[in-house]
Amino acid sequence: MSRIKNAWLAIRGRALPSAPNTSGNHQGEKTTEKGHIADPERSVQYLYEQMQIDPNLRASIVMLRHMDRIDPRVKKIHRRIARDATKGGLKLHWIGKESARVNKLWQQFMLRLQLNNRSKLMSDASGLAKEGNLPLQWVVNELRQVTSSIRMPTETIIPIVDQSGRFKNVKQAFRQVDPLTYQELCTFPLWQLTVSRLDPDNYDDMGCMGRPYLDASRSIWQKLIMTEEDLVIRRRTRAPQKLAHSLDGADKTALDEYRERVEGQSGEIATDFYGNKLTVSAVGGDANMEQIADITLLVDAFFSGAPAPKGLFGYVDGLARDVLEDLKRDYYEEIDALQDALAYAYENGFKLQLLLAGLNPDSFQFQIQFVERMTDSKNQRADLALKYQALGMPRKLSWESAGVDVQRAEAMREEEANSKDPYPEHNEMENEEDEKPKPQVSITPNNQPKGESATSISNG
């Protein structure tokens, strides 16, 4: 088991501190790197964070969870991020030569960890967006199989690092504490807990956790909610027309008696009153109820920190279609970055599974990716695949760009070919395919909006 742990540390590429280890655990060879403080602003926070959870990170996470529960806009942002990032599921993308054994281990790994379940992937993606971190605990059984990946609450995880941001002891890299009593619950070695961070202030500082996606929008959200509540209160108090009742020469007793008689009547206050001492004059309501430019400003400021433009969340006033298309492309890039952070965690878990199976992950060139890298339409992906085909690119590359699972497609092609003849000859199959006319694909540059090219297919 020690060899597996050492190989796992080498694969994850964690730089080890050059200072001697007093615990007796040799973490690696000596390096020439000098000791340093990873971030000057964290020099004071270092000792504080070793004792308890970062209060700023915990406050951000707790507030964003509250925002997600009570505000449909925040819920829609988090749900759309999780939905678009996990669309299509995961796949094993080969860069080099494929291995049938690794493919089989990947399929078994997905089934055991329920990575083929959309709900599991959306839960992890939503947690990464809300908490800014995705701590996954790998559970290994007696058969040396990774059986599950448990998403841990970020606000209870503390990296055990030194002032340079490196792990003190890889056998105790993280610890979990109670957020209320700060009592240590357990510790995790580096191979057992993978933490994928979203936009950390310093990636090389292992003690620097990621930030929630809407972390910078919290103060704007508070102002927006307060202004909306003030607007509702103002409408209730100032919008209706009111009446001023003036009783000439009446004392306090007569005024109170008149007020009780009028306010005690059922229904609304009467508009006309008659009396030899009574004068009733109307007071107009607020005539500027439609002026809500301050709320519009706060809405724009809030959605400026969202991954997608506000037009995708229902605010479409004054938004041109061309501008919306450009903002959507930026949203696709945000989703790609989120997918990379998610895939990094799953790839580390699969590499651990390969080590437990006696395979060196460095011997295989593969990546764990999501099937749909961008939330383009199916027609756009098919158009890109056809353009690759016209350029003479390999067939598998065209299939991958179209969002097709290459392994599944190859298996279906082979099954379909074998179903026609109980004893197929591969040479005959290849000759038949060569005799069939191949579709001709041509590309016309600048024949689509925004200077994109058009694709034409003809069976020649």
> Which tens digit of pLDDT belongs to each residue from 339-358?
999 999 999 999 999 999 99
CA gap 170, 11 in Å, rounded: 14
Residue 72 has pLDDT above 60, yes or no: yes
Mean pLDDT of the chain: 77
Tokens coding 283:
């007071």
Of 150, 168, 152, nearest to 160 (Cα)? 168
- Tell me if 109 sits within 8 A of 347, measured CB to CB: no
What pLDDT score does 455 carry? 63
368 confidence band (pLDDT: 50, 70, 90): very high
> Hey, which of 120-124, 399-403, 414-418 has the most confident mean pLDDT?
120-124
What pLDDT score does 66 carry? 94
Sheet of 184-188, strand order: 157-159, 174-177, 184-188
What pLDDT score does 15 carry? 37
Q: Alpha carbon of 214 to those of 71, 210, 435, 444: distances in Å?
A: 13, 12, 57, 42
Of 294, 317, 448, 332, nearest to 80 (Cα)? 332
What pLDDT score does 277 carry? 57
Tokens 């074998």, residue located: 418
Q: Cβ–Cβ contacts within 10 Å for residue 171, how many?
A: 16
What pLDDT score does 68 carry? 93
What pLDDT score does 14 carry? 41
Tokens coding 407:
């392994």
CA gap 22, 445 in Å, rounded: 66
Q: Cα-flanking dihedrals φ and ψ of residue 212, to 5°?
A: -60, 155
CA gap 118, 86 in Å, rounded: 7
Higher pLDDT, residue 265 or 320? 320
Residue 423 has pLDDT above 70, yes or no: no
Q: What percent of the chain has pLDDT over 70?
A: 69
What pLDDT score does 46 carry? 58
Tokens 């109307």, residue located: 282
What pLDDT score does 43 carry? 58
- Tell me if 334 sits within 8 A of 307, measured CB to CB: yes
Of 165, 194, 158, 135, nearest to 16 (Cα)? 165
371-373-375 Cα angle (round to 5):
105
CA gap 342, 88 in Å, rounded: 14
What pLDDT score does 133 carry? 95
Q: Cβ–Cβ contacts within 10 Å for residue 449, how many?
A: 8
What pLDDT score does 63 carry? 94
Report the Cα 286 to chain-centroid distance in Å. 44
- pLDDT tens across 262-306, in order? 776 645 545 444 454 566 666 666 656 666 777 888 888 888 888
Radius of gyration of the chain, Cα coordinates, nearest whole angstrom:
32
The identity of residue 409, as a single letter, is A
Average pLDDT over residues 427-456: 57
Residue 447 has pLDDT above 70, yes or no: no
Across 30-39, 161-170, 183-192, least confident range:
30-39
What pLDDT score does 271 carry? 46
Q: Which residues contact 150 (CB under 8 A, 6 or more apart)?
A: 136, 137, 139
CA gap 256, 7 in Å, rounded: 88
